[in-house]
Amino acid sequence: MVVIVDYGSGNLGSIRNMLKKIGFDAIISSDHHVLQTAEKLILPGVGSFDQGMLSLEESGLIPILNQKVLEEKTPVLGICLGMQLMTKRSGEGNRSGLGWFDAETIRFDPSKTAQKYPVPHMGWEYVFEKNKSPLLDEMYAEPKFYFAHSYWVKCQHPDEVILTSRYIHEFDSAIQKGHILGVQFHPEKSHKYGMKLLSNFMTHF
């Protein structure tokens, strides 16, 4: 059973609908007993880093998530803010992240280039494979995904970066440490590419 973690942030229904479209059932829940039975977890998220961490803290979900992910090795996929919350910290606020990756979340700075780039970054971008992963198994040629974000993740370990993208500069758009995965883009909004990626997560992890 896959559980989409409900902490008051993210396109929960869109993710569940996309999973249903490719043949997988999912439960949206914040109930600790439901989470305890999860075979896979999806941590979604939109909005600010501090508010996301505050919501996780206030809902009491951090201990059960750490237990499932760090102790029981339950596969987990972070999406957008969900991926950023897996890092140690963010320039968006003062709260500590979950720290599942040795990484930090940084705001795009368009002032460092002569070309004008709007922030937040919204739209389709190509992704480029950096390391092999079952998440990318039999992926379509020249894959591209839909992004909507003002912050990007900088992972300290190159071997944990499986995809990069480019907006203003190159940034890590998918990361993996064993059973812990994060994507900056929205697979639930990325048509056939997102369906393939979600299907790989469901079948290979």
**Residues labelled catalytic:** 80, 186, 188
Q: Helices 12-21 & 191-204, crossing angle to 10 degrees? A: 80
Residues 6+ apart with CB under 8 A from 114: none
Residue type present at position 140:
Y
